[in-house]
Amino acid sequence: MANILYGVNGEGAGHSTRAKEVLSHLVAQGHTVHVASFDRGLQNLSKHFDVTEIYGFRFAYVNNRVRYKRTIAKNLITVPQAARSLARLKSLVDEWKINLVITDFEPLACHVGHKKRLPVISIDNQHCLTNAVVSYPRQYRRDAAAAKLVTRMMTPHADAYLVISFFTAPVKKRNTFLFPPLLRQEILNATPTQGEHVLVYVTSPAPALAVLLGSIRCQFVAYGFGREGKEENITYKKPSLDGFFTDLTSAKAIVANSGFSLVTEALHLGKPYLAVPVLHQFEQIFNAHWLDKAGYGAYWEALNKERVESFLYNLPHYCEKLTHYPRQGNAALLGKLDSLIASLTGS
């Protein structure tokens, strides 16, 4: 059996949610796994696995927009922490006798793997942009170029890239394999219903969106706005995994930022999706573009009352499209991962 270092990006909950499924599988297969993560990854995984806290790159958000100057300043302050985390991981790799590294868009584990001449496997959705033939809106070419550069820098020269995507695309890199999204068991086991509410989720408080939704004749249940209680047609709720899951599975539609995990969970559950990408977050723009292109929902650069009402009016059309969405489990990716571990480590 293999001794595995698994690096998990802790920005948001999506990376750790899917990593938990892979980690549970690896442990069940008899492998010894040590996790390295930060922030949400540390919080979400430490209850179930051996997790070492490391430095993590974080974006700064203001009013649903990435602020690059604040992001740079925020991360420059913590450069010494990154160096300490890297040195600690190197020593732990020797102590744990690690013979394989898996990374979910986490660069320190990947870097240590290369330094120690260990095989590295990447599992993420970001490499769809760099390792497959895909399209995106022409006006975002500069943002796309920056996103590609960051993606290549985060986990370079992996022995294999297991890329997850909710659409199919031709692969252009020889060591890249495309799979359906990794989904948590709760979603795979869920029986969705259709209530009267639309679920709303934002990464950071978005007061302009709250005002807009307040002008529309529809019931909304909203997370991420930093408040609680009912105000006219919007019920604001505090963060809650169980509460959010209940509201997600029973919603008639979703209005939310277009992070990969929430988009793919909603599609699996058959929920039409109105995408509100975080501004200057190209990954979210990319997801929103393909969501709209597939006909599973809608995406505009800016929302207004007419566009939200148009989305709600067209819910039957989106629901019809979603009946043809390919719903698959995690078996294909996990099977490929098993074969890669066996070939790369001899386990």
Kindly state the average pLDDT of the residues 228-255: 95
73: amino acid identity, one letter:
A
What share of the chain has pLDDT > 70, as a percent?
A: 93
Rounded CA-CA distance 99/345 in Å is: 7
Q: Model pTM?
A: 0.90
Q: Under CATH, which number does the domain 3-182+330-345 receive?
A: 3.40.50.2000
Identify the pLDDT of residue 84.
84
- How large is the average pLDDT for residues 163-173? 96
- Domain locations in the chain as residue ranges: 3-182+330-345, 186-322
- 74 versus 104: the higher-pLDDT residue is 104
Kindly indicate the confidence band of residue 278, based on its pLDDT and cuts at 50, 70 and 90: confident
How confident is the model at residue 79, as a pLDDT? 55
Rounded to an integer, the average pLDDT of 128-141 is: 93
The predicted-structure confidence for 319-329, as pLDDT tens digits, reads as follows 999 999 999 99
Bigger pLDDT: 4 vs 240: 4
Q: Compute how many other C-beta atoms are within 10 angstroms of the C-beta atom of residue 101.
A: 28
Domains 3-182+330-345 and 186-322 share a fold: yes
- pLDDT at residue 206 in the model: 84
State the Cα–Cα distance between residues 102 and 347, nearest whole angstrom.
Answer: 15
Query: Residue 326 has which token pair?
Result: 């390919």
Tokens matching residue 319: 């629901």
What would the CATH number be for the domain defined by 186-322?
A: 3.40.50.2000
pLDDT-based confidence at residue 147 (cuts at 50, 70, 90): confident
> Per-residue pLDDT averaged across 218-243, rounded?
93
Q: How far is CA 306 from the centre of its chain?
A: 29
Q: Is the pLDDT of residue 251 over 80?
A: yes
Tens digits of per-residue pLDDT, 298-311? 998 889 999 999 99
